[in-house]
Amino acid sequence: MSDLKTDKQIRKGHPYHVELEPLGRRGRFLPGVSVMEMARQLGIDLISLCGGAGKCGHCKVQIVKGQVSAPTSAEQEKLEYKELDHGYRLACQTYAKGDLVVHIPLESLSTPQRVQVEGIEEDVIPEPLVREYEIRMSAPSLSDLQADDDHLAEELKQQHNVTCLNMDTLVLRKLSTELRSQNWRVQATMRDSELIAIGPWPTRHLGLAVDLGTTKVAVYLLDLETGKTVASKGIMNPQIAYGEDVITRINLVRRGSDEANRMQNLIVEAINSIAAELSAQVDAGPEQIVDAVIVGNTAMHHLMLCLPVDQLAYAPHVPSVRQALDIKARELGLSISPGAYIHFLPNISGFVGADHVAMVLSTGISKAKGVVLAVDIGTNTEICLADHGKMASVSCASGPAFEGAHIKFGMRAAAGAIERLRLIDQEIEYHTIEGRKPIGICGSGILDTMAQLYIAGVLDKDGRMTENHPNVRSYEKGREFILVNEKECEGSAAITITQQDVRQLQLAKGAIRAGIQILLNEENNSEDDIDQIIVAGAFGSYLDISSAIAIGMFPQLPLDRFNQVGNAAGIGARSALISQTKRTEALDIAPQIGYIELAGVPNFGEIFLKALSLG
Amino acid sequence: MSDLKTDKQIRKGHPYHVELEPLGRRGRFLPGVSVMEMARQLGIDLISLCGGAGKCGHCKVQIVKGQVSAPTSAEQEKLEYKELDHGYRLACQTYAKGDLVVHIPLESLSTPQRVQVEGIEEDVIPEPLVREYEIRMSAPSLSDLQADDDHLAEELKQQHNVTCLNMDTLVLRKLSTELRSQNWRVQATMRDSELIAIGPWPTRHLGLAVDLGTTKVAVYLLDLETGKTVASKGIMNPQIAYGEDVITRINLVRRGSDEANRMQNLIVEAINSIAAELSAQVDAGPEQIVDAVIVGNTAMHHLMLCLPVDQLAYAPHVPSVRQALDIKARELGLSISPGAYIHFLPNISGFVGADHVAMVLSTGISKAKGVVLAVDIGTNTEICLADHGKMASVSCASGPAFEGAHIKFGMRAAAGAIERLRLIDQEIEYHTIEGRKPIGICGSGILDTMAQLYIAGVLDKDGRMTENHPNVRSYEKGREFILVNEKECEGSAAITITQQDVRQLQLAKGAIRAGIQILLNEENNSEDDIDQIIVAGAFGSYLDISSAIAIGMFPQLPLDRFNQVGNAAGIGARSALISQTKRTEALDIAPQIGYIELAGVPNFGEIFLKALSLG
């Protein structure tokens, strides 16, 4: 904000400081600017079908702190009393009356960057393991015959009091040439006591954080000095071509090392390509990336590292490697700075991997006072229950149904996907991503549909679809419910949800609910004991908590006990990248997280069957 | 030796314990066995042209300790009084009268294994950095879900009190599979706190020591547990194809990284092939080699590591890397155990490299009380003067003349090479390697010839050849001296030594003598102050010290001040391989060794000119 603008604003009145979470955008606004407009000015587009008239009800936000204008009649109509009570408002109807902190539920966002990279940027103090130093040296002469390595080590000590105990081989291979071509003024990059890069001073140093999901891969480029994310991108995991779930991929690589290498190459090439793309966005090269952190579930971790997976595929499902690893990027084929390391955070056990450690790290549940449940929803869903710091975890094979897989009209969260749906009497209201013509339905839309159909009585508790609704019809495999008819689809087939889709969703949500129940049973907790439920992951950020409660995926608890935090694993990976303290914390946390192998729970079948029920 | 034989011998009389150095062979012999016969029984063939009649004088040995029979008249004729005084005897004429230690000068050896691998096997207590542990584990179960890496680390701690902080990536890639295929009983190989191999228990562990010379490469295979050399081999450095001296090779690799890689590949492939061959000799595979030490001069060191050499080629000739390095063997393409490291001993300065450190290490001159000069003769000759522990070194470009290069009939020390030569009046006596028909003349033969021609007055002090000898004749480029005439050569051309050959040798020996002089000048020492001259290196082991003194390569000092120690660099490399103490000692020694850059010595030209003189 320019000084001029600030002066002008101050003349017009006292500006309020407004903070929009979880995206971390901040600004100062004069009275008379709606929250929707504030968001727009800060680069955040909220869903608005009615153009800010308070009629569509999609621009829902939560006022976390501060005074705002009283609810309008439009808001009283669109929002439930309970929601108003918990600070939920429509952004287009709400005006600040002082400094504000506003939470924007991700489902209210409508931007093309609705990918899996978002999340709260934690306020971590940057203290990177990799640091750079400017070194000025004199050229050797007949009276100073010191070898170049000794010379540099001595100057590091003298000029910066840094002890160099080791120099990377590839750095050594260019050391002498670089010292001379830079005329004896260089940037020495140290990782602890190892020289990992040498080059011109000053060179900006970047770090790469990767959240390696079964379905999605989120890559973040950070400035190591400021600790800020300077670019990010999410892509589909290219290994999907070899199987949507981890078991299929594991069975493939068990055929031989060629398959294992091919699987690894796929992901390495993808990361290389994104690293180059993101670097270019900030006018840098991937060789400026001098540190990296990768997190993923145990299977993704093992596939990335070409570790054996046989013992993971079969009970008792033990990982080959749990401990944290530091591996030269080049050993894995990663095209970043030749001397850089990749840090793999530690795994937990079974399929519960480093991504869950990163999530626990970023959400701080290990230090939370009460009973906190953290659910990271993905193709594999990992759940952790922290009971006053005592943590236990499970892994649930929730499958890719939430990604739209095995759903008749399912699709990934891309333009044209129905992502929100309401059934009001016989009327169906929906919203598609980017407001395009509907072409399918993505995870959050499927969840909404299930909930609405159950509430409307179209589905019973067991998930059976009634025939007593005008939108229900028969097709070759049973019943289905028409969401968008042929006419609306402009000639394409009607978009429906089938009885079989419902079964798929029941299996997915049942796996999650059973996992929650088993964790609660472990320490004899009841649902009511849960003080907070943290919902993480891409799908977890977009889903409508009310819908998830309605179908019994989550326990029936007040909405304000839920907290959707975005890609918490990605946030944790970023913290570990920029902070040695956080990296150490992750090492400490991981072995504290207990693990329950579902195959060893005697009444698992019973619990799972019960968890399949809706409501 | 079988018990039976021992019993029989004891019945016949009291057997004497005899030790043959520097080969380290030991045995017990009854009175009445000549030293030559003892050597034969212990597998050492001495040169014997006269069949043990005391007439050829080639089986010269030195009695270092113990009583022997009195000199025969044959010995009194063949040996100088001075030699007899210093314990030199003819092996065929000498009988033990008690326990003996006999030094066999390498020039008296006549075996096909006359290569560059011999040397005193030092009595170093094996305390290898790499150690193996037997681990027995129980299989995981639903009640023991520990990951394999955690499990192994815990058992290492519990069963052996060994802390494992790091596991090699490639070892991790087979850990789970190996634990299961070995039914949870394995051999874990630790290098300090890093797991570098996992496999069946018990597996014999080997180590590789390499002395990487400009011309010759000596490779030793050691049993890490016993510390003994179990196999060894010497080959020509295959890089010779790209230049006999280091400067030619350096200039080649300066053309680009392709050349540098090709040069490196040549040596790596050679080592790989020998490692496989030597392993096979002891019924093992190269993957059982779990540690390696490589020494070489700075240029060989840099070429092996693909380090920049520009700054080494030009004054002030500074190395890129002086410090010791530990590099994963696989990073350099060495096909030994996938997790093994190669330890490169530290360099000194200029061209004085790790091989010289190894030599100082094995000869113990850093701890010697007096003034000791150590000369490691090769294509580059490194010399160190230790003045009561204060050490200074120089590197002399002595060139490959001692290897037979640039000498008209010069050849390497192979079958048919004249290796010993005496001029008695007009008679020429010579000995060829393996007693074959003479086809050329190798380094020690050339040195003998120079000395004999100078003593006989055929060469004057300036190296000019007289015409006043029946064997001197003219050829197109000047004069030459006939060593073996056409008749003896059975139709081939006569073998001669030319005026130009003499010039080449003068340059080589002059370089060495100048180096010695500069070291002496440094601390104002005179030649007489030298208490001991250690002569190392392949050629250094075979040369006749008297000849070297005669032509002024070495100072005129009593023969007993000279000590020919064989491949001292190779011995040092082996010590550092099997002993952590020795490895640490090398780290300490290297920076203590001062370095004199000849280009910086003001009166070098003058000293060198003077050193060219014979006598």
Q: Any idea which of A327-331, B362-366, B407-411 has the lowest mean pLDDT?
A: B407-411
A266 lies in some domain: yes
- Contact present, A168 and A338 (Cβ < 8 Å): yes
Residue B9 has pLDDT above 50, yes or no: no
- Contact present, B384 and B378 (Cβ < 8 Å): no
Amino acid residing at B528: D
Contacts of A149 in chain B (CB under 8 A): 319-323
CATH number at residue B68: 3.10.20.30
CATH number at residue B258: 3.30.420.480
- Contact present, A443 and A449 (Cβ < 8 Å): no
Q: Is the dihedral of CA A155, A160, A164, A167 positive or negative?
A: negative
With a CB cutoff of 8 Å and minimum separation 6, the contacts of A465 are A453, A458, A459, A472, A478, A479, A480, A481, A499, A502
Q: Any idea which of A46-50, A366-370, A528-532, B159-163 has the lowest mean pLDDT?
A: A46-50
User: How confident is the model over A339-362, as pLDDT tens digits?
Assistant: 999 999 999 999 999 999 999 999
B287 and B157 in a single domain? The answer is: no
Q: How far is CA A335 from the centre of its chain?
A: 24
A412 and A396 in a single domain? The answer is: no
The DSSP annotation for B166-185 comes to EE-HHHHHHHHHHHHHTTTE
Host H or E run for residue B606: helix B604-611
B578 and B605 in a single domain? The answer is: yes
Contacts of B174 in chain A (CB under 8 A): 308
B485 and B523 in a single domain? The answer is: no
- pLDDT at site B48: 65
B383 lies in some domain: yes
- Contact present, B224 and B289 (Cβ < 8 Å): no
Question: CA-CA distance, A466 to A475, in Å (whole number)?
Answer: 14
**Which one, of B550, B553, B463, B460, lies nearest residue B514 by Cα?**
B553
A528 and A408 in a single domain? The answer is: no
Our separate counts of H helices and E strands in chain A read 18, 27
A438: tokens are: 């509907």
Q: How far is CA A323 from the centre of its chain?
A: 23
Q: Domain end: A200, A233, A260, which one?
A: A200
- pLDDT at site A107: 65
3-state secondary structure of A190: strand
- pLDDT at site A52: 74
Q: Which domain holds residue A175?
A: 130-200
A496: tokens are: 């429906």
Phi first, then psi, for residue A587 (nearest 5°) are -60, -35
Residue B452 has pLDDT above 90, yes or no: yes
Q: Any idea which of A337-341, A599-603, B389-393, B486-490 has the lowest mean pLDDT?
A: B486-490
| B23-27, B331-335, B367-371: which is most confident | B331-335
A537 lies in some domain: yes
CATH number at residue A166: 3.10.20.880
- pLDDT at site A536: 92
A314 and A386 in a single domain? The answer is: no
- pLDDT at site A236: 80
User: How confident is the model over B162-186, as pLDDT tens digits?
Assistant: 999 999 999 999 999 999 999 999 9
Q: To probe the interface with B, which of A137, A176, A309, A325 has the most B CB atoms within 10 Å?
A: A176
Question: How many CA atoms are closer than 13 Å to the CA of B438, on its beta-carbon side?
Answer: 27
A517: tokens are: 């129940």
Cβ separation A320–B149 shorter than 8 A: yes
**Which one, of A301, A303, A320, lies nearest residue A248 by Cα?**
A303
In B405-525, the DSSP E strands lie at: 417-424, 427-432, 440-441, 472-475, 478-484, 495-498
Distance from the Cα of B143 to chain A's closest Cα (Å) equals: 8
Q: Does B261 touch chain A (CB under 8 A)?
A: no
Q: Is the dihedral of CA B323, B329, B330, B333 positive or negative?
A: positive
- Assign B58 a pLDDT band (cuts: 50, 70, 90): confident
- pLDDT at site A114: 40
B226 and B180 in a single domain? The answer is: no
What is the arithmetic mean of pLDDT over A312-326?
A: 94
Average pLDDT of chain A?
A: 90
A211 and A324 in a single domain? The answer is: yes
Cβ separation B175–A320 shorter than 8 A: yes
User: How confident is the model over A397-418, as pLDDT tens digits?
Assistant: 888 888 887 888 888 787 788 9
**Does residue B22 have a cis peptide bond before it, meaning omega lies within 30 degrees of 0?**
yes
- Contact present, A188 and A198 (Cβ < 8 Å): yes
Q: To probe the interface with A, which of B146, B169, B177 has the most A CB atoms within 10 Å?
A: B169
Question: CA-CA distance, B83 to A321, in Å (whole number)?
Answer: 68
Contacts of B322 in chain A (CB under 8 A): 146-147, 149-150
Question: How many CA atoms are closer than 13 Å to the CA of B247, on its beta-carbon side?
Answer: 12
Among candidates B141, B145, B323 on the partner chain, residue whose Cβ is nearest the Cβ of A350: B145
Residue A1 has pLDDT above 70, yes or no: no
Distance from the Cα of B370 to chain A's closest Cα (Å) equals: 28
Q: Domain end: B447, B482, B501, which one?
A: B501
Phi first, then psi, for residue A137 (nearest 5°) are -130, 165
Per-residue burial over A299-317, b = 16 or more CB atoms within 10 Å of its CB, e = otherwise = bbbbbbbbbbbebbeeebb
3-state secondary structure of A544: coil
What is the arithmetic mean of pLDDT over B364-369?
A: 91
The DSSP annotation for A200-226 comes to ESS---EEEEEEE-SSEEEEEEEETTT
A252 lies in some domain: yes
B516: tokens are: 């010695």
CB atoms within 10 A of CB A69: 15
- pLDDT at site A48: 66
Per-residue burial over A32-57, b = 16 or more CB atoms within 10 Å of its CB, e = otherwise = ebbbbebbbeeebbbbbeeebebebb
A396 and A408 in a single domain? The answer is: no
What is the arithmetic mean of pLDDT over A367-381?
A: 92
Q: Is the dihedral of CA A237, A240, A242, A248 positive or negative?
A: positive
Whole-Å CA distances, B175 to A569, B154, B182: 28, 14, 10
Residue A10 has pLDDT above 80, yes or no: no
B495 and B588 in a single domain? The answer is: no
- The A residues from 150 to 209 touching B (CB cutoff 8 Å) are 150, 153, 167, 169, 172-177, 180
- Assign A437 a pLDDT band (cuts: 50, 70, 90): confident
Strand order through the sheet with B495-498: B472-475, B478-484, B495-498
Report the alpha-carbon angle A248-A444-A246, nearest 5: 10
**Which one, of A568, A476, A507, A520, lies nearest residue A379 by Cα?**
A507
With a CB cutoff of 8 Å and minimum separation 6, the contacts of A80 are none
A461 lies in some domain: yes
3-state secondary structure of B573: helix
- Assign A207 a pLDDT band (cuts: 50, 70, 90): very high
**Which one, of A308, A401, A316, A398, lies nearest residue A595 by Cα?**
A316
**Which one, of B548, B542, B550, B544, lies nearest residue B458 by Cα?**
B550
- pLDDT at site B24: 64
- Assign B112 a pLDDT band (cuts: 50, 70, 90): very low
- pLDDT at site A540: 85
Question: CA-CA distance, B153 to B148, in Å (whole number)?
Answer: 9
B303 and B381 in a single domain? The answer is: no
User: How confident is the model over A238-273, as pLDDT tens digits?
Assistant: 887 777 788 888 988 988 888 899 999 999 999 999
Question: CA-CA distance, B536 to B538, in Å (whole number)?
Answer: 7
Report the alpha-carbon angle A573-A574-A579, nearest 5: 105
Contacts of A169 in chain B (CB under 8 A): 305, 325, 327, 331
- Assign A425 a pLDDT band (cuts: 50, 70, 90): confident
Amino acid residing at A188: A
Contacts of A315 in chain B (CB under 8 A): 142
A114 lies in some domain: no
Chains A and B form CB pairs within 8 A to the count of 139
- Contact present, B440 and B474 (Cβ < 8 Å): no
A113 lies in some domain: no
3-state secondary structure of A343: strand
User: How confident is the model over A31-82, as pLDDT tens digits?
Assistant: 888 998 888 777 676 776 666 778 767 788 999 899 999 999 989 988 888 8
- pLDDT at site A410: 85
Cβ separation A176–B320 shorter than 8 A: yes
- Assign B402 a pLDDT band (cuts: 50, 70, 90): confident
pLDDT above 90 as % of chain B: 67
Q: Does A261 touch chain B (CB under 8 A)?
A: no
The radius of gyration of chain A's CA atoms, rounded to the nearest angstrom, is 26
- pLDDT at site A190: 98
Q: What is the pTM of this model?
A: 0.80
- Contact present, A156 and A133 (Cβ < 8 Å): yes
What is the arithmetic mean of pLDDT over B505-529?
A: 96
Contacts of B600 in chain A (CB under 8 A): 142-143
A193 lies in some domain: yes
Q: Domain end: A466, A501, A536, which one?
A: A501
- Assign B113 a pLDDT band (cuts: 50, 70, 90): very low
| A483-492, B202-211, B255-264, B598-607: which is most confident | B202-211
Q: Which residue has the tokens 């993480």?
A: A536
Question: How many CA atoms are closer than 13 Å to the CA of B65, on its beta-carbon side?
Answer: 9
- pLDDT at site A244: 75
User: How confident is the model over B228-260, as pLDDT tens digits?
Assistant: 999 998 888 888 777 778 888 998 898 888 889
What is chain A's percent helix, strand, coil content, to nearest 5? 35, 25, 35
What is the arithmetic mean of pLDDT over B45-52?
A: 68
- Contact present, A569 and A355 (Cβ < 8 Å): yes
Residue A8 has pLDDT above 50, yes or no: no
Strands A216-223 and A206-212: antiparallel
CATH number at residue B553: 3.30.420.40
Residue that wins the pLDDT comparison between B216 and B51 = B216
What is the arithmetic mean of pLDDT over B75-97?
A: 90
Question: CA-CA distance, A426 to A456, in Å (whole number)?
Answer: 9
What is the arithmetic mean of pLDDT over A590-601?
A: 93
A124: tokens are: 């971590």
B512 and B376 in a single domain? The answer is: yes
Contacts of A146 in chain B (CB under 8 A): 318, 322
3-state secondary structure of B605: helix
Cβ separation A169–B145 shorter than 8 A: no
Q: Which residue of B has its CA nearest to A349?
A: B147
Contacts of B321 in chain A (CB under 8 A): 147-149, 167, 172, 175
Q: To probe the interface with B, which of A150, A164, A301, A314 has the most B CB atoms within 10 Å?
A: A150
Contacts of A325 in chain B (CB under 8 A): 169, 172
Task: Provide the domain count of chain A.
Answer: 5
Q: Is the dihedral of CA B289, B246, B496, B489 positive or negative?
A: positive
Among candidates A176, A349, A600 on the partner chain, residue whose Cβ is nearest the Cβ of B147: A349
What is the arithmetic mean of pLDDT over B47-76?
A: 83
